[in-house]
Structure 1
Amino acid sequence: MSIKSLLPALLCLLPLTLPLTAHADWYQAEGSASLSLGTESARQQALEQALTDALLQAGASLTTVQSVTNGMLSGQHLDVAAQGELMDYVIVKEHQAQGRLWLTLRADIWPNDQLQPQCAGSYHPGIALSSFPLQHPEQARFGQIFDLGTAVTAKLAQLLTPNVNLMTQLPYQVTTDSQLPRSPGLRQGGDVLASQQQSRLLLSGVINDISMEEGNWVKWRFSNMPRQFSVLVTLEDSFTGERLLQRHYQTAAPWSYGKRARVKVQEQDFWLSSYGQSANQLLQRIARDVVHAQSCMKAIGHILQQSDEGILMDLGRQAGIKPGDRFTLIHRRQLQPGYYSETSAKAQFVVQQSHTDYSLLTPADRQARQVRITPGDILTAIH
């Protein structure tokens, strides 16, 4: 279903009166929008955001986002693959604070048995988070927020940690080198991560717009000036070269500080401001999309050692590997930097012991007991 199908509900701000059934589930969600858009527009956008979040709680997934308008997902470009049908919603709370309208609702969503269940694999690939720099540092002069990139990266790491296997926070920027000959290019840092077996995924980004109007003294004195917050995010598989996520996120919110104020973006007061809350909501969307993008990946493990006891693999409990998981041996040969040939050995191995960052596997069939393992071979999970 798409947000377009929700528009009739968005136009009606009073609770619906459809009867409840014993099979319906209620989900509570919150949305907000800047009052600078106007009260009615802010209420509609907050409602759209809350309904989308409720659908996501019920098992929906976002499949396409091509544009963002005023910090909100554009209904014309947002596809929601839902696991249920929105039947009713009730607005339980609405209030205004720090230039934003906040709305809390409870949505009645009926399960849809005809849809396939969402991927719920146990594999959690290691993620390295690269620092998000400011593309235009001169835009940070208002508020002297030149260390906003560091604060944003730390906030995103905080949001990601409970839901993904965040292994490394890089104190520098790592980006794709688009000048290299093979699309999507050989990663400057991704290949390093893969070769050192630190993290499989590389999450990088850049804050490309925090601009605001110059404005005169009267505007700064008597109104909160709007300020942009725009981020380009990329999630890459450093082992296969696949780009799992590349998306532009944008929002705008009132900047409630004086023209010559020095704002401490590392402190909680900033994140409680209207601009900080808007930025935090955008980072929550990024974290949600990252979680979804890596949720259905197939585990790929490097072979550390082969002995009489079995095979040591560089994935363990931290990556969601557990005893009984089965893997197939793949012969992988590098033809030249960035190019590989892969051949399945049709030999299966089963995890006997799973430790924090490694596992011990033993042969599961006759081919596995006879196969010869050579440097570069890998193991891929069998779903």
Structure 2
Amino acid sequence: MRILALFTLLLTSAISSAQWYESQGTAYIVNNDRDSARSEAMENALKKALLVAGASVSSAQQVVNGLLTQDELNIRASGTVNSIELVEESYQNDMLKVTIRADIFPQEQQCFAADFKKSMLVTKAQLLHREQANVGQIYDLDKKLVARFADKLRQQGQYIDIKLAHKSSIPFSRYNRSFDQEKIKYLAVELGQRFDTQFVLFTEVSDVSFGQQVLNQWQFWQEDNFDRHFDTAFYIYSTDNGELLWDSHYQNKAPWTFGKRNIIDLSSQNFWQSAYGRMIDRTLDDALLDIDESLMCQQTRARIVKVQGNEVIVNVGKRQGVKLGDEFSLLHLNSFTSDQGKMYSGYNVSSHMVKVSEVFQDSAVAVATNQNLLSNIQINDLAVKREQ
């Protein structure tokens, strides 16, 4: 096991005590470049450690601002990471795996909203050029991809509570290609109401074509191997008003090690342990971290599902982090459609406040703090947790 010396960072303050976090990162080795793979794997591992520690991270580059060159690690950070140690490095085929130990200073909570998990609907991916899936017959990639991603989100997502709807197609990509944002807004709102979630995730796979360069040209006894691309994009929309909150594109490639006439079982470990399957997994891991970070500070807005006298029932509960005594402000949703067909949304802040009196797994009962009747509050209005 290789141990690197600790590299101390410049800190604005060294008064508070740091805490060790151990995490793992992986990277695919391209063109035998182990140094670049090691740097990428360590950035991936450090980013995971930072998120677990509660740091807000928009990208590994922003936080780390570093580069690993051979045995030298140069990192600059803004008072979050005190030191970092490479504990272990291992190789399996073309994959490099590292374990790091990072000395991270506990920061004040980055945002109040990080206390709560946000509900998000994960929809079926759209394979934009289905003819590219002919080699390997990977036409089910749209379903298998989001099912695997949903499992990762459930197991590793810090701030996301997901629902999966991947068995039926939705018209997102058709609207997206025609730049019809109004139809996307209506679609997002409709899906949110149908599946009772605050956000919806759309996924597009735009390229699974093959590269032109032969990877094994000197091994004339073998069938030619080529890189296969995997370009995908993720979009998160608010289901309250249909607005786009976040989107990101990922472009990767890896050797396709199967025969051209092989029919690939996308549910098999044989596929997911191949160079191409591992590259897709790595892409999903990167997207998961980015999505988790982007939603961490998004305000949790519960939907009111029942109003009775001075009580409301909201669609968040223990699973999302709600506790007895939590207080919510109420927002009356005020949406309208213009003469041009554009949808606009706004909120009128109610004078009413409610306090949670009963908590269930996915819902809670809240009572008006002044015991007055909740006039003008309706089903589908919103409840927003108050900072205490």
- TM-score normalised per structure 1: 0.79
3-state DSSP of counterpart to 1:253 = strand
Residue identity over aligned pairs, in percent, reads: 21
What CA distance in whole angstroms lies between the structure 2 residues aligned with 1:136 and 1:271?
A: 22
Partner residue in 2 for 1:314: 315
1:189-244 CA deviation, whole Å, 9 max, x = no partner?
A: 31212333622211111111111136679748266421111110001111133322
What CA distance in whole angstroms lies between the structure 2 residues aligned with 1:124 and 1:217?
A: 45
1:355 aligns with 2:351: no
Seen in structure 2, the aligned counterparts of structure 1 residues 37 and 58 have a Cα distance that, compared at 3 Å, is farther
- Deviation of residue 65 (structure 1)? 8.5
Q: How does 1:241-260 map to 2 (within 5 A)?
A: 241-260=242-261
Seen in structure 2, the aligned counterparts of structure 1 residues 50 and 242 have a Cα distance that, compared at 3 Å, is same
Partner residue in 2 for 1:234: 235
- Deviation of residue 28 (structure 1)? 3.3
Partner residue in 2 for 1:5: none
3-state DSSP of counterpart to 2:114 = coil
Larger CA deviation: 200-209 vs 32-41 = 32-41
Q: How does 1:1-383 map to 2 (within 5 A)?
A: 15-17=4-6, 23=18, 25-36=20-31, 38-63=33-58, 84-95=80-91, 97-100=92-95, 102-111=96-105, 113=107, 117=110, 121-162=114-155, 163=157, 164-171=160-167, 172-175=169-172, 177=175, 186-196=184-194, 198-213=196-211, 219=217, 221=222, 224-308=225-309, 310-336=311-337, 338-365=343-370, 368-369=372-373, 371-374=375-378, 377-383=381-387
Seen in structure 2, the aligned counterparts of structure 1 residues 167 and 55 have a Cα distance that, compared at 3 Å, is closer
CA contact (8 A) 1:174 1:204 kept: no
1:318-361 CA deviation, whole Å, 9 max, x = no partner?
A: 43322211111223333337223422122101110122333211
Partner residue in 1 for 2:72: none
CA contact (8 A) 1:33 1:43 kept: no
What CA distance in whole angstroms lies between the structure 1 residues aligned with 2:380 and 2:141?
A: 41
Q: What letter is aligned with 2:383?
A: L
Seen in structure 2, the aligned counterparts of structure 1 residues 37 and 218 have a Cα distance that, compared at 3 Å, is closer
Seen in structure 2, the aligned counterparts of structure 1 residues 358 and 174 have a Cα distance that, compared at 3 Å, is farther
Larger CA deviation: 297-306 vs 341-350 = 297-306
What CA distance in whole angstroms lies between the structure 1 residues aligned with 2:49 and 2:307?
A: 48
- Deviation of residue 270 (structure 1)? 0.7
Partner residue in 1 for 2:73: none
Q: Which runs of 5+ in 2 are unaligned?
A: 68-75
Q: What letter is aligned with 2:56?
A: S
Partner residue in 1 for 2:71: none
What CA distance in whole angstroms lies between the structure 2 residues aligned with 1:364 and 1:207?
A: 49
Larger CA deviation: 372-381 vs 344-353 = 372-381
What CA distance in whole angstroms lies between the structure 1 residues aligned with 2:336 and 2:109?
A: 39
Seen in structure 2, the aligned counterparts of structure 1 residues 382 and 81 have a Cα distance that, compared at 3 Å, is farther
- TM-score normalised per structure 2: 0.78
What CA distance in whole angstroms lies between the structure 1 residues aligned with 2:320 and 2:131?
A: 41
What CA distance in whole angstroms lies between the structure 1 residues aligned with 2:257 and 2:189?
A: 43
CA contact (8 A) 1:55 1:82 kept: no
Partner residue in 2 for 1:70: none
What CA distance in whole angstroms lies between the structure 1 residues aligned with 2:345 and 2:134?
A: 47
- Deviation of residue 131 (structure 1)? 0.7
- Deviation of residue 255 (structure 1)? 1.4
Seen in structure 2, the aligned counterparts of structure 1 residues 206 and 18 have a Cα distance that, compared at 3 Å, is closer
3-state DSSP of counterpart to 1:251 = strand
- Deviation of residue 138 (structure 1)? 1.6
What CA distance in whole angstroms lies between the structure 1 residues aligned with 2:272 and 2:26?
A: 17
What CA distance in whole angstroms lies between the structure 2 residues aligned with 1:48 and 1:375?
A: 45
Seen in structure 2, the aligned counterparts of structure 1 residues 304 and 150 have a Cα distance that, compared at 3 Å, is closer
What CA distance in whole angstroms lies between the structure 2 residues aligned with 1:298 and 1:87?
A: 32
CA contact (8 A) 1:329 1:345 kept: yes
